[in-house]
Amino acid sequence: MTESPFRPREKLLEKQRFFQSIHKHTYLKGPFDKITSVAIPLALAASSLYMIGTGIYNMSHGIGKKE
């Protein structure tokens, strides 16, 4: 007894040919992969660097201390 495949074999072969023909890194091959693997980490890094910078500035100037 065999299971039927989730996708037709022709669609699978078409997708395999598409992904094997692209000469990019494997994590940038999909249409939205630049957003998830480049833009989001850059945004997180930029916001964390900004927050670290403001924290250091506030500590060096004594701003926001609790009495």
Q: What residue spans define the domains of the chain?
A: 26-61
pLDDT reported for residue 20:
82
Looking at residue 27, what DSSP letter applies? G
Can you tell me which residue has the tokens 């094997």? 20
pTM: 0.56
Contact 28, 37 (CB under 8 A): yes
Spatial separation of the C-alpha atoms in residues 31 and 33, rounded to whole Å: 6
pLDDT in tens, 4-50: 778 888 888 998 888 788 777 766 667 777 788 888 999 999 999 99
